Amino acid sequence: MVQTRTAPEAPPGPRSSGHPPHAEPPRNPGMPLELDWVEQVRVNRSAVERRAATLGTRRSVKKAWQAGWLLRAISLMDLTTLAGDDTEGRVRRLCAKARRPVRPDLLEALGMADAGLTVAAVCVYHRFVEAAVDALTGSGIPVAAVSTAFPHGLAPMETRLAEIRASVAAGAREIDVVVTRSHVLTGQWTALYDEVRAFRDACGDAHLKTILATGELGTLRNVYRASLVAMMAGADFIKTSTGKEGVNATLPVGLTMVRALREYGEHTGARVGFKPAGGIRTAKDALLWLILMKEEAGDPWLSPHLFRFGASSLLADIERQLEHHVTGRYSAFHRHPLA
């Protein structure tokens, strides 16, 4: 669980294209639930925390290389608005930012004017799916909908499944679902498997991103086991958090989940994506997560097919860092609005 692999070379610099040239992998078909595998999981928390603490010390990314990594981070974002006061106008402005996430003058200075840089997806509540789909027409950017009574996930099962189907019918190509945390906390792995499998079936061709709400699962062992069960049930992505918990995406939790998806891939041959969400606000945060994915999972996971950031304020800080790289000066946050 805590072995460290040799770090490969850094990813391409700022002249690379907006999206890495990795082909989209086949969807995770899932597999029958293997309870023996789930029950034998053990996680050494202190070892995980020591490994996570080295991510920012073992590699330094500076100057043009840092700009390249940050441009890559933009291409991996699920640009998100999940506020109670969301409006259609806000969602449409967010979609406009998703199409052109960085000011044209900065892209020109970075040699990226013709790269077609966009974010990976726009994530909204079901109510705004149709507006987002309309605003993104022709861009190739998919709409992701949070479903299944997000963020608590405690509505009746038929209600949650109906919400998934409605979002898919409205044009969502990705569905972010929340699991019943009590299934994990009480070790009801068959119930968790059946729940996620039902979500997968309701999604049809839309990709399923399963939110584990790791800040509410108690232990890293529970995080690892819940990750395995979700993948066995057919999750295309495993996601840390709703962003509404007291504790959201942390590097030790991320390391635990990435080790789980790596083990699952070694066992089945399937590649499952990973999405940290909640609390990732700065360019420095983004770099640490990219380092984690590169060192622990490998280059294929630096593609939007297999890695996403759940992000809202993150894009503004990355654009500020890119402006500093170009001009040598930092700008105020209000000069980089999202919506």
Catalytic residue among 275, 285, 294, 317: 275
Annotation says 299 is catalytic = no
Q: How far apart are CA 199 and CA 129, in angstroms?
A: 18
Query: What region, left, alpha or beta, does residue 116 occupy, with left being phi > 0 and alpha being psi -120 to 50 degrees?
Result: left
Q: 78: which 2 tokens?
A: 């699920």
Active site residue 176: yes
Residue from 97, 209, 239, 294 carrying the catalytic annotation: 239
Q: Could you say which of 176, 236, 285, 317 is catalytic?
A: 176
284 is catalytic: no
Q: Where in the sequence numbering do the catalytic residues fall?
A: 176, 239, 275
